[in-house]
Structure 1
Amino acid sequence: MSFPLRAITLDLDDTLWPFAPIGARIDQVLHDWMRVHSPRTAERFPVAAMRELRERSFAENPHLHHDLSALRRLTLQQALAESGADPELLEPAYEVFYAARNQVQCYPDALDALARLAAKVPVAAVSNGNADLQRIGLSQHFVFQLGSREHGAAKPDASIFHAACARLGAAPGEVLHVGDHIEMDVLGAARAGLRSCWLNREAQRWSHPSLRPDLEFHTLTALADWLDAHPSFATEHAAA
């Protein structure tokens, strides 16, 4: 297999770091904060109930699925209102959430491999999540970060991939999208005309009957090793 590679677009959650521990910490940190600042909300919405409210907000607002920050604010707003709490607590509660959301623990291989990739070709973050690479401290490895909230549509919509390619100054077929999610990342990128790399950290079985990723690795290190072994693929780094 051979294709020109001018740039990489990279998913974040469950690609550079696992999201489950972040989600669990967010739930507990928010609950602890509510216990101090709005006890009625904490009592009315313990962790499980707050999670159910968030899931209900997601289900009832499909027009906001590209904007997880708006959905989180909506959930907090509903929780405060239903518990008779001060609505002015919304923004402080959101900031508590966002601080916890950006406390990430990268996979052991991720940081070194990311640096190696960024030394070869431009790397852009393309994510449906609301992580802030500047706050996390990883922005130096990326030429830009494109989120679904900023763009107005979420993966697997082709438009977010095409917008990233346009900013990279590369045709879709010259960009490799790397991510963990079969539908959002691999199939979304492939249908948009990008090359795709499935970062299959959990050793799952491929499920789509016809489309397949161009590349599949269990770690980001393996992708960096592959790129080192195929230097001719990164044909126009200087031009990009």
Structure 2
Amino acid sequence: MAEPSRTTGQIKAVCLDIDDTLVDSERASREGLRALVGTDRAWQVWRRITDEHFGDHAAGDGDFDATSAARTRAFFAAFGHEIDDAELARRESDRMAAMRRAWRLFDDALPCLDWLRATGLRLVAITNAPSAYQRRKMADVGLAGTFDTVLLSEEVGAAKPDPRIFAAACGGLGLRPEEVVHVGDRLDADAVGAVRAGMHGVWLDRRDTGRAAPDGVRVISSLFDLPELLVCDLPAVPRPAAAPAVVGEVVGLSR
């Protein structure tokens, strides 16, 4: 594989989403739902009600605990069950404890992060989530201290795909948008949002849906694929002097 040429458009930083990009948040949420009702068969109902209650909160509106309680109350109400405040608090506590126990990084997360760090690229987390909740999650899974910058929608006052949160990332790094890549599992909020902000947008399609992406959006199905994309398809990403072996094999450095 030829060495990439150095250009004025060289990629200097990679931004990553957290939930369902680095952390298997859906699995953890399903475990929380099982703690709540003993099964995750109503997962689609839970997701719909979650979207209804947390759509505005992602940008910093509302109280997280109160919104969570309202979401759980609405979920039970959808099945005709009314619960009092004490029972609601107990069930929410059990759900949150089960979810925290289930928070895990995907297997490809740390190898990819190690490779990115070895290249000298700067790392940024951009996440639509309440600050205290998300920082606790990142600490629980060992991501605290991993990133040069962490941008949370609640603190920025704008949520992906709002271009302001991407501009805040570039501005905080002192870089032009074309020097920054953003990777996330949501096509519209992450990849398309980044492209519209002038960055390189990469959609992490973990389910390998085959869904067509708009022009300008790159698609990968695993973070193991990200180093090859950066080295081969984007401007002048330097190779690390000693790439972590597991990713070195993936990008063809050992083939």
SS in 1 for 2:158: coil
User: Residue deviations 1:51-82, cap 9 Å, x none?
Assistant: 84774474367533535935324324667994
**Residue 242 of structure 2 corresponds to which residue in structure 1?**
none
Q: Cα 1:66–1:95, aligned 2, differ >3 Å: closer, same or farther?
A: farther
**Residue 19 of structure 2 corresponds to which residue in structure 1?**
13
**Contact residue 187 and residue 211 of structure 1 kept, 8 A:** no
SS in 2 for 1:176: strand
**Residue 169 of structure 2 corresponds to which residue in structure 1?**
164
Q: Cα 1:96–1:55, aligned 2, differ >3 Å: closer, same or farther?
A: same
Cα distance in structure 1, aligned partners of 2:237 and 2:30: 40
Match of 1:221 among 224, 229, 232: 224
Does 1:144 find its partner at 2:149?
yes
Which consecutive unaligned segments of at least 5 residues does structure 1 have?
Answer: 33-45, 236-240
Does 1:183 find its partner at 2:188?
yes
User: Residue deviations 1:172-207, cap 9 Å, x none?
Assistant: 121100112110111000001111122232222343
Counterparts of 1:75-94 in structure 2 under 5 Å? Answer: 75-76=71-72, 82-86=82-86, 90=89
Q: Cα 1:48–1:5, aligned 2, differ >3 Å: closer, same or farther?
A: same
Q: Cα 1:60–1:138, aligned 2, differ >3 Å: closer, same or farther?
A: closer
1:83 Cα deviation from its structure 2 partner: 1.8
Which consecutive unaligned segments of at least 5 residues does structure 2 have?
Answer: 240-255
One-letter amino acid of the counterpart of residue 17, structure 1: V
Normalising to structure 1: TM-score of the pair?
0.72
Q: Cα 1:72–1:223, aligned 2, differ >3 Å: closer, same or farther?
A: same
SS in 1 for 2:111: helix
Counterparts of 1:1-240 in structure 2 under 5 Å? Answer: 3-31=9-37, 52=45, 55-56=48-49, 58-59=51-52, 62-66=55-59, 69=64, 71-76=67-72, 82-86=82-86, 90=89, 96-102=94-100, 103-120=102-119, 121-129=121-129, 131=134, 132-208=137-213, 210-213=214-217, 215-227=218-230, 232-234=236-238
One-letter amino acid of the counterpart of residue 181, structure 2: L
**Residue 42 of structure 1 corresponds to which residue in structure 2?**
none
Q: Cα 1:52–1:107, aligned 2, differ >3 Å: closer, same or farther?
A: closer
Deviates more, 1:53-62 or 1:134-143: 53-62
1:113 Cα deviation from its structure 2 partner: 1.3
**Contact residue 202 and residue 219 of structure 2 kept, 8 A:** yes
One-letter amino acid of the counterpart of residue 64, structure 2: S
User: Residue deviations 1:5-36, cap 9 Å, x none?
Assistant: 1111101222123333112101122447xxxx
Instruction: Let me know the Cα RMSD of the aligned residues.
Output: 3.6
Identity %: 28
**Contact residue 231 and residue 238 of structure 2 kept, 8 A:** no
User: Residue deviations 1:206-237, cap 9 Å, x none?
Assistant: 435x5331x332221221244466894359xx
Q: How many residues align?
A: 218
SS in 1 for 2:15: strand
One-letter amino acid of the counterpart of residue 64, structure 1: H
Bigger share in helix: 1
Q: Cα 1:138–1:100, aligned 2, differ >3 Å: closer, same or farther?
A: farther
